[in-house]
Amino acid sequence: MVKLRNCSHARLHPNSAIHYTRAMTIFAKILSGEIPCHRVYEDAHVLAFLDIGPLSDGHLLVIPKEAKAQLHELSDESAAALGRVLPRLARAVMAATGATAYNILQNNGASAHQAVMHVHFHIIPKLGSAGLGVGWNAGTLDAVRARVLVETMQAALS
């Protein structure tokens, strides 16, 4: 178990000491300050920094300090902290780039294009042809299947 400490690049808030129980991801190393980042925003639960391989100018990554691989594993506290700052960060990306359109992307699982196994949201400005390309092979919603899905999802929520 590794206890991360404050550093100059991305400081952990004193009240949010994080214990990592598995091999550190590249984002855990950014959080610990072991590797640098271009930090845009930080609070007790969240860090935002520029993507090293931007799809467009201003491509921003927003991560929780909580060390979880996928969104559904996050605590309510981390989830709320992310939700609180995402719109503000989107406004900052728009102001910095002049973008009037953008995508929020959040991949979970290698087959869903997740490369770094630490939860992260991409804020990707759409600037002309630069930005996120989206494939969207829409189907049709079957009424019987819809009823089953609603029932099983609601059961999972209770």
**Closer residue to ligand 5GP in complex, CB, 12/63:** 63
User: Can residue 37 be called a binding residue for ligand 5GP (CB under 6 A)?
Assistant: yes
CB 34 within 8 A of CB 11: no
Which tokens belong to 68? 């979880």
CB under 6 A: which stretch of 12-20, 43-51, 76-84, 127-135 binds ligand 5GP?
43-51
User: Can residue 116 be called a binding residue for ligand 5GP (CB under 6 A)?
Assistant: yes
CB under 6 A: which stretch of 11-19, 39-47, 48-56, 131-139 binds ligand 5GP?
48-56
CA distance 31 to 112: 24
Residue-by-residue DSSP string for 51-97: -SS-SSTT-EEEEESS--SSGGGS-HHHHHHHHHHHHHHHHHHHHHH
User: Can residue 26 be called a binding residue for ligand 5GP (CB under 6 A)?
Assistant: yes
Q: Mark whether 19 is an active-site residue.
A: no
Three-class SS state of 114: coil
Phi, psi values for residue 129, rounded to 5°: -85, -10
Site for ligand 5GP in 82-111 (CB under 6 A): 107
User: Can residue 49 be called a binding residue for ligand 5GP (CB under 6 A)?
Assistant: yes
Catalytic residues: 120
- Contacts to ligand 5GP by CB under 6 A: 26, 37, 49-53, 107, 113-116
